[in-house]
Amino acid sequence: MSKFIVLIGPPGAGKGTQAKLVSEKLDLPHISSGDIFREYFNNQSELGKIAHRYIERGELVPDEITIAMIRERLSKSDCETGAILDGFPRNPVQADALEQMLLEMDSEVDLVAYIDVPQEELIERLTGRLTCREQGHVFHRKYNPPKVANRCDYDGSELYQRDDDKEETVKRRINVYMQQTMPLIEYYLRKNLLVKVDGMQTIEQVTKTLLEVIGNKR
C-alpha cells in the first residue's frame, strides 16, 4: 500500500523542514514543488525561467505548468510507495488534479496535515530564513541557526536568503496563501482527510506530532 501525505500551511509554517524530517523517518520521497522550480531555475531550463517570473513576484506559477511538473515527478519509480508532498497542491484545482493523478496510480491521499502558525509569526520566520543551495535545507538566523555560520549542517553547502523571502514579497505570498490556498482547508475537511497540527511547537515536537497522526491513520 502506498502512502501519500500532503502538508499544507502558510509560507513559513515549517512545511519544508518537517517534510524533510518526516520523509527520512518514513523513507518516502519528499516532493517540494518550490524546490523543483528552484532546481529547474538553477539549471537554467525554460520551465525554470518561466516559473521564476511568478516566484519572484510571490505569485503562484500557473496550474498547467505546476500540475504537469508534479505529474512527471510522481511518475518516477521512487513514488510507488508514496510521498510527502510539500507545497502542492496549493489550490482546489491542483487538489482535484492530484486526486486524479493518484487515482491513475491506483492510490489516494491518505492524510493532509495542516501546520497552523498565526499570521503575525510568519513575516519574522520568513525574513530570517536561510536556505541551503544544494538541497533546500532550511535554517533561521535566530530560531534555528546553523552550527557554522552560513553553512548547511547537513551538506556543508552555502546558505542564502531566497529572493522571495524579502519582506515585500513575503507579504504578497501570505496574501496569495490566504486567498488561494486557505480554501483547501475546507476542501480536505469535507473529505475527512485534514488533521490540524500546532506549528508553534518546537521543530522536534511538530515532527513527533506529525509522525503520530500519520501512524494513527494506518
- Which of 20, 38, 73, 129 is flagged as catalytic? 129
Could you confirm whether 53 is annotated as catalytic? Answer: no
Asked if 3 and 110 touch (Cβ cutoff 8 Å), the reply is yes
Give the chain's end-to-end CA distance (angstroms, integer). Answer: 10
Supply the minimum distance, in Å, between the C-beta of residue 109 and ligand AMP.
Answer: 15
CB neighbours of residue 189 within 10 Å: 13
Q: Indicate the residue among 61 and 79 with the shorter CB distance to ligand AMP.
A: 61
Could you confirm whether 71 is annotated as catalytic? Answer: no
Among 198, 215, 34, 204, smallest CA distance to 116 is for 198
- 115-144 binders of ligand AMP (CB under 6 A): none
Distance between CA atoms of residues 6 and 87, nearest Å: 8
Could you confirm whether 38 is annotated as catalytic? Answer: no
In 3-state terms, what secondary structure has residue 113? strand
Binding residue count for ligand AMP, defined by CB under 6 A: 17
| Interaction of residue 199 with ligand AMP, rule CB under 6 A | no
Could you confirm whether 141 is annotated as catalytic? Answer: no
Residues of the chain by 3-state class (helix, strand, coil), percent to 5: 50, 20, 30
Among 5, 8, 60, 174, which residue interacts with ligand AMP (rule: CB under 6 A)? 60
Among 28, 61, 74, 184, which residue interacts with ligand AMP (rule: CB under 6 A)? 61
Q: What is the amino acid identity at position 65? A: I
| Interaction of residue 94 with ligand AMP, rule CB under 6 A | yes
Distance between CA atoms of residues 84 and 174, nearest Å: 22
- 154-173 binders of ligand AMP (CB under 6 A): 164, 173
By the criterion CB under 6 A, which residues form the site for ligand AMP?
11, 33-34, 37, 54-55, 58-61, 66, 87-88, 90, 94, 164, 173
Q: What residues are labeled active site?
A: 15, 90, 129, 162, 173
